Amino acid sequence: MSAVAIGVRERRRRDGVRRGARRVVAVALFLLALVGLYELYRWVWSSAGFTWPFAVDSTSMPHVWTILKAFGQPAQVNQPPLGTILFHKALFTAKEAIVGFGLGAIIGFFLGVVLVHSRLLQRGVLPYIVASQTIPILAIAPMVVIWVNPKLPASFQGWGSVAVIAAFLTFFPVTINTLRGLQSADPRALELMRTYAASRWTVLWKLRVPASMPYVFSALKLAATACVVGAIIGELPSGLQSGLGGAILNFNQYYSIEPQELWATNIVAALLGIVFFVTVVLVEKVVVRRAPENVG
């Protein structure tokens, strides 16, 4: 029997590899098609002279190759190429985003666990948690910087407060989905735990938390991209120059002269978000063992 089982596992693994390869090819083709469409649109609009919705020229829509070339050229004299600079700025922003993600995920999860045990708290606290997300992040960022920065150790100065802002965007989906996930435990399974005279704590760790994992991970996927956005926006009012937010602010001012640099920065920011997202997806694949049809 176990020989059959191993055979099944081996086949499933091979199927997985094949499916993965097919997906990579599909993504590459899709990207290529997107670039083709972009250039086609550009060509049609500029040669026909359409001005709706906007006139197409090398400022509004630089060529794809112009943008790609910008990565290899220095943005200012006597500097390393833009690609190298953006890479380091991306690492800086990634540091803020990772810490923000971790902080937000832990706080979010903890809040979900607390809330699931108290109807009263759910009714009392949840509206404020929802309300907190209606505040534009730019509006509270300066306050967070002023409140948080003085308390941070030297090595956390500046970027630490940006991580807190990123955490502010991260915790919300995690709280909401953790709460839903913890409540998703099968009532009959809860009853089964009751027949074992299991404590609340045991029920939480053996049943509710594992049952919540698919929900928690779909929140973490949202949070993975949200924390990157949070980190970039958080850099703006903090006056930090070392991250992608600072670069975006800077290249904004030169957009009319050198638009390709802002485009290049945007691509790097998007890539960073994708890397975060994919990382969460991969971790989910390892952690969440579920019936294939239940994987959301």
Partner 1 sequence: MSALEPVVKIEKVTKVFPRGNVTALQDIDLTIDHGEFISLIGPSGCGKSTLLRVVGDLTEPTEGSVTVNGKPARRARLDHDYGIVFQDAVLFDWRTVSKNIAVPLELLGWDRERRRNRVDEMLELVELVGFGDHHPWQLSGGMQQRVSIARALAFEPALLLMDEPFGALDEMTRERLNLELLSIWHQLGSTVIFVTHSISEAVFLSTRVVVMSPRPGRIAGVVEIDLPAQRGVETREDPRYFELVTHVRELLRKRGEHLLPEEEQQLLEAAE
Stretch that binds partner 1, among 66-74, 96-104, 204-212, 225-233 (CB under 8 A): 204-212
Q: Contacting partner 1 (CB under 8 A), which of 206, 218, 275, 279?
A: 206
Given the complex with partner 1, which of 57 and 186 has the nearer CB atom? 186
286 lines the binding site for partner 1 (CB under 8 A): no
139 lines the binding site for partner 1 (CB under 8 A): no
Beta bridge partners of residue 74, listed in sequence order: 81
Contacts (CB under 8 A) with partner 1, residues 171-190: 186, 188-189
Q: Which two tokens stand for residue 132?
A: 């907190």
Q: Are 93 and 235 in contact (CB under 8 A)?
A: yes
How many residues sit in the footprint of partner 1 (CB under 8 A)?
25
150 lines the binding site for partner 1 (CB under 8 A): no
In 3-state terms, what secondary structure has residue 74? Answer: strand
Contacts (CB under 8 A) with partner 1, residues 208-227: 210-211, 213
**How far is C-alpha 231 from the geometric centre of its chain's CA atoms?**
10
Q: Contacting partner 1 (CB under 8 A), which of 11, 22, 194, 285?
A: 194
Distance in angstroms (rounded) separating the CA atoms of residues 101 and 249:
23
Given the complex with partner 1, which of 191 and 257 has the nearer CB atom? 191
End-to-end CA distance of the chain: 31
Q: How many CB atoms lie within 10 A of CB 296?
A: 11
291 lines the binding site for partner 1 (CB under 8 A): yes
**Angle at alpha carbon of residue 101, lines to 133 and 23, rounded to 5°:** 105
Given the complex with partner 1, which of 22 and 194 has the nearer CB atom? 194
Q: What is the DSSP string of 38-68?
A: HHHHHHHHHHHT--SSS--STTTS--HHHHH
What is the smallest separation between the CB atom of 11 and partner 1, expressed in angstroms? 13
Q: Are 249 and 236 in contact (CB under 8 A)?
A: yes
Given the complex with partner 1, which of 1 and 139 has the nearer CB atom? 1
Q: Which residues contribute to the site for partner 1 (CB under 8 A)?
A: 1-2, 5, 186, 188-189, 191-192, 194-198, 202, 206-207, 210-211, 213, 288-292, 294
